């Protein structure tokens, strides 16, 4: 397989685009495409202060690297969840994020959940009504809360996550099987700011996971190699594997699924794009000041009361 631009040996073949590229041209192509998506979806500009949610994994570090190369003002935020104390999963992930930032002279904010709130995510999950097996639901709630609060408190224009097309397509498939319209209405590429909520953007939403992974590897970015232990066996992974089987047979399936969905969102097929229900309630948590649906405390602050 030869690079379409220069005829050298290709390192990647993107069947959905009928495009094979060599290392040099792929490392140019991915940032160029990112810039194109940023403009196409009116995501942000060079004058905006951006906050990137960084996990120490390949996707988020690749995103931060691309933004840095494209000269955007992007700081990182790492949330230490206290996961897998024995193998030091969270500690190791933090090290990768810190090293990445240091090498590029970028600013990394760190929130340590245990130090700041007194308990790690697995500890909260173990005693919460959500049950021992629900670490991911506690984790998701805590991350959303901390990312949003930090972005707002520190005056960032937008909060960026590195969700890729595989993540988005798996989310769509899962919610389509449930016909969960409120969730389907939230599969945005850009979610505008709302009272109490920061603007949220996914600049990598049109890249396949293998493309962002190839970028991280070819750029020699050091990232935490293992997955979070709680991700193993998740529904999300199951849907990703199924989608990959379809993609093998019919290249472009994932991309079409997602792009046609974005078009349907624009046409108003789904209910009005909304943040969580909290926006609609207009009430604020008496402890942290973030929106809440009911009662005095928001869902995050309530976790510490249980």
**Residues of this chain, 12-41, that bind ligand Q46 according to CB under 6 A:** none
**Residues of this chain, 136-175, that bind ligand Q46 according to CB under 6 A:** 136, 139-140
284 scored as a contact of Zn ion (CB under 5 A): no
CB of 90 to Zn ion, least distance (A): 23
Residue 246 buriedness (CB in 10 A; 0-12 / 13-18 / 19+): middle
Of 3, 139, 201, 228, the one binding Zn ion (CB under 5 A) is 3
6 scored as a contact of Zn ion (CB under 5 A): yes
300 scored as a contact of ligand Q46 (CB under 6 A): no
Of 188, 207, 230, 300, the one binding ligand Q46 (CB under 6 A) is 230
Binding mask 21-50 for Zn ion (x = CB under 5 A): -x--x-------------------------
CB of 103 to ligand Q46, least distance (A): 24
237 scored as a contact of ligand Q46 (CB under 6 A): no
CB of 265 to ligand Q46, least distance (A): 23
- The smaller minimum CB distance to ligand Q46, of residues 62 and 135, is found at 135
Which of ligand Q46, Zn ion, none does residue 140 bind to, with CB < 5 to 8 Å depending on kind? Answer: ligand Q46
Convert 37-52 to b/e letters by CB count within 10 Å (16 or more is b).
Answer: bbeebebbeeeeebbb
Query: What is the DSSP secondary-structure string of the chain?
Result: -B-TTT-SB-SEEEGGGTEEE-HHHHHHHHHHHHHHHHHHTT---TTSEEEEE--SSHHHHHHHHHHHHTT-EEEEEEEE----TTTTHHHHHHHHHHHHHHHHT--EEEEEHHHHHSS-HHHHHHHSTT-GGGHHHHHHHHHHHHHHHHHHHTT-SEEE----HHHHHHHHHHHHHTT-HHHHTT--SEE--BTTB--EE-TTTTS-HHHHHHHHHHTT-----SPPGGGTT-HHHHHHHHHHHHHHHSTTHHHHHHHHHHHHHHTT-SS-----THHHH-EE-TTT--EESSSSS-HHHHHTT-
**Residues of this chain, 62-101, that bind ligand Q46 according to CB under 6 A:** 83
Which of ligand Q46, Zn ion, none does residue 136 bind to, with CB < 5 to 8 Å depending on kind? Answer: ligand Q46
1 scored as a contact of ligand Q46 (CB under 6 A): no
Using the rule CB under 6 A, give the single segment among 14-22, 72-80, 144-152, 227-235 that binds ligand Q46.
227-235
CB of 78 to ligand Q46, least distance (A): 12
User: Which stretches of the chain bind ligand Q46, using CB under 6 A?
Assistant: 83, 135-136, 139-140, 228, 230-231
User: Which stretches of the chain bind Zn ion, using CB under 5 A?
Assistant: 3, 5-6, 8, 22, 25, 285, 287-288, 298, 301
């Amino acid at each position: 397989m030869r690079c379409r631009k220069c005829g050298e040996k290709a390192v990647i073949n993107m069947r959905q685009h009928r495009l094979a590229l060599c290392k040099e041209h792929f490392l140019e192509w991915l940032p160029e495409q990112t810039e194109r998506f940023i403009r196409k979806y009116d995501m942000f500009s060079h004058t905006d202060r951006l906050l990137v949610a960084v996990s120490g994994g390949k996707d988020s570090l690749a995103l931060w690297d691309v933004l840095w190369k494209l000269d955007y003002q992007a700081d990182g935020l790492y949330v230490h969840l206290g996961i897998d104390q024995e193998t030091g999963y969270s500690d190791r992930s933090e090290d990768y994020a810190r090293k990445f930032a240091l090498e590029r002279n970028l600013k990394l904010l760190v929130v340590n959940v245990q130090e700041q709130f007194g308990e790690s995510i697995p500890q909260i999950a173990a005693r919460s009504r959500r049950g021992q097996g629900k670490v991911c639901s506690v984790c998701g709630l805590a991350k959303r809360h901390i990312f949003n609060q930090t972005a707002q408190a520190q005056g960032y224009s937008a909060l960026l996550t590195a969700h890729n097309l595989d993540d988005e397509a798996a989310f769509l498939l899962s919610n389509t099987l449930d016909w969960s319209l409120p969730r389907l209405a939230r599969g945005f590429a850009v979610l505008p700011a709302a009272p109490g909520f920061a603007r949220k953007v996914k600049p990598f939403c049109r890249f396949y996971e293998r493309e962002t992974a190839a970028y991280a590897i070819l750029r020699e970015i050091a990232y935490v190699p293992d997955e979070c232990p709680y991700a193993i066996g998740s529904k999300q992974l199951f849907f990703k594997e199924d989608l990959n089987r379809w993609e093998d047979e019919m290249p472009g399936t994932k991309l079409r699924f997602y792009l046609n969905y974005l078009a349907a969102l624009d046409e108003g097929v789904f209910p009005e794009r909304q943040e969580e229900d909290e926006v609609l309630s207009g009430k604020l948590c008496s402890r942290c000041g973030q929106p809440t649906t009911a009662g005095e405390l928001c869902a995050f602050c309530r976790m510490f009361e249980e």
